[in-house]
């Protein structure tokens, strides 16, 4: 029998990148889901899905959506890429803090058993090229360009700890700190996408010149969205009380490496590549130590980077027609 059998699950941010992938997994496992939508719609029709429209910055809406649920996967968030953060660094602070605080409070009041929230590796201080441990979150300020969003994540994590550890009776709260997540249903819009999705679009469209923001030497640990969904499901089942886990591949890839892997898979004819160092970039290296998730959750990613790139490109082309030259 499935851990989720007979349970009601609340999924916020159901139309988003992670939410949409998680919703499909939950339905595939025959879970009854209350899926929260804000502005976007979803085209997934299934009797196990109860769609509700809500603005989670309104506490009355938070109370309404948590009523009668056992588990909460909180995937709703205000997010964007480097360009938006560079122009408006406070854009993600207030709405996320309000959403996170109110949903935690109302979930606790409603008797929710377990609450999983997606944090971020942006909260960590700069550790150079050394993988960072979960215990190092508060050992110095976040990297300067992540200062605003990093402290927002830290504050929300403290709220999770309060409900999962300090208040009695407690509500199990699980915090996952993913690295860069990529895959199907990612945001591929030029003004808001992260580096992986931006590169996929440029390679698939055979853009020439192909413009890359920064030097191309930035290093990222990436995790395929299907693997991240695995980590979410495992965590919800196994964790009791309060705990925090890094979720990543444990392998660093430079932007240049990712680009040439994509070009090889696409069989792209060597376009002119321009590294535009005037464009905004973020931390030069971000690596996380993933040993805790491996030991305590039994979680290790199963999709390698080349397989993940191929899946993402195939999905993008299926949704956006034949490639075209810009």
Work out the mean pLDDT of the chain and round it to a whole number: 92
DSSP 160: H
Closest Cα to residue 51, out of 38, 60, 63, 62? 38
| pLDDT at position 325 over 70 | no
| pLDDT at position 204 over 60 | yes
* pLDDT-based confidence at residue 106 (cuts at 50, 70, 90): very high
- The mean pLDDT of 131-154, rounded to a whole number, is 94
| pLDDT at position 326 over 50 | no
pLDDT per residue as tens digits for the range 115-134: 999 999 999 999 988 999 99
Residue 119 near residue 156, CB atoms below 8 Å: yes
CATH of 8-320, one of 3.40.50.720, 3.40.605.10, 3.40.50.300, 2.40.50.100: 3.40.50.720
Percent of the chain beyond pLDDT 70?
95
Q: What is the pLDDT of residue 39?
A: 83
Residue ranges per domain, the chain? 8-320
Q: Which residues pair with 35 in a beta bridge?
A: 11, 51
pLDDT per residue as tens digits for the range 46-89: 999 999 999 999 999 999 999 999 999 999 987 655 566 667 67
- The reported pTM is 0.93
């Amino acid at each position: 029998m499935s851990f989720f059998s007979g349970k009601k699950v609340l999924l916020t941010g159901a139309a988003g990148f992670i939410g949409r992938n998680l919703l499909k997994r939950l339905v595939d496992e025959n879970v009854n889901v209350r899926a929260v939508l804000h502005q976007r719609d979803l085209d997934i029709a299934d009797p196990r899905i109860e769609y509700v429209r809500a603005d989670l910055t309104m506490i009355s809406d938070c109370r309404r959506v948590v009523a009668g649920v056992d588990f909460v996967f909180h995937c709703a968030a205000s997010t964007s890429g480097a360009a938006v953060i560079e122009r408006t660094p406070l854009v993600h602070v207030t709405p996320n803090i309000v959403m996170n605080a109110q949903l935690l409070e109302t979930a606790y009041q409603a008797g929710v058993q377990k609450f999983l929230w997606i944090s971020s590796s942006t909260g960590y201080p700069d550790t150079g090229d050394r993988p960072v441990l979960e215990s190092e979150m508060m050992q110095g300020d976040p990297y300067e360009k992540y200062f605003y969003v990093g402290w927002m994540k830290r504050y929300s994590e403290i709220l999770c700890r309060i409900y999962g550890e300090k208040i009695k009776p407690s509500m199990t709260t699980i915090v996952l700190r993913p690295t860069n997540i990529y895959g199907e249903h990612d945001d591929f819009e030029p003004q808001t996408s992260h580096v992986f999705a931006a590169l996929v679009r440029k390679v698939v469209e055979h853009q020439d010149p192909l413009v890359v923001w920064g030097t191309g030497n930035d290093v990222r640990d990436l995790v395929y969205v299907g693997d991240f969904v695995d980590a979410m499901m495992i965590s919800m089942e196994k964790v009791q009380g309060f705990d925090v886990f890094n979720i990543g591949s444990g392998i660093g890839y430079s932007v240049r490496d990712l680009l040439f892997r994509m070009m090889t898979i696409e069989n792209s004819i060597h376009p002119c590549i321009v590294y535009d160092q005037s464009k905004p970039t973020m931390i030069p290296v971000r690596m996380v130590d993933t040993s805790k998730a491996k030991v305590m959750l039994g979680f290790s990613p199963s999709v390698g980077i080349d397989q993940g790139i191929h899946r993402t490109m195939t999905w993008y082309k299926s949704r956006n027609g034949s490639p075209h030259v810009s």
